[in-house]
Amino acid sequence: MKVQTRRASAKVPHEADTLSFMHRKMPAGSGICYWNVESSGHFGKDCDKGHELAREYLDYIGRHPTNGATTLLGCIVNDMVRLRQEERLPSRNHLTGVEIGFLGEVNRYAMATMVAVVKTKGNPEGGVA
């Protein structure tokens, strides 16, 4: 199922100016930091923070379904990976609870959406299964 997107107009705020975990790099024009989040070192608290940031992201893309927003998650994940190069012991994971919580919450919403789509349409491409 394709989601209808639109070109961003002057009325749509830039994600780096809206989302708390992003910022514009300096000097001006040198890009966007899509994931600027520090881990507290406490997995449970970090997961809660990740869930909160995911809901912030989901609210943004729900309110602004632009062509640019369709690539936003990939940019966020790319910066997550770039930030978390070191392996964490004893789990041997690279991601912290913040990233795991963020991605888990986005996945939970994606699953809920697809359950509704499949129940309504019969299959994800539309029509009857």
Q: Which has the higher per-residue pLDDT, 15 or 11?
A: 15
Rg of the chain, C-alpha, whole Å: 17
- pTM higher than the cut 0.85: no
For 93, phi then psi, to 5°, come to -80, 155
Q: Return the pLDDT at 10.
A: 55
Q: Which has the higher per-residue pLDDT, 87 or 65?
A: 65
Write out pLDDT tens, residues 106-118: 999 999 999 998 8
Helix residue ranges, H only, 12-123: 15-18, 43-63, 72-83, 97-121
**pLDDT > 90? residue 121:** no
**Region 46-73 average pLDDT:** 95
**How far is it, in rounded angstroms, from Cα 37 to Cα 46?**
10
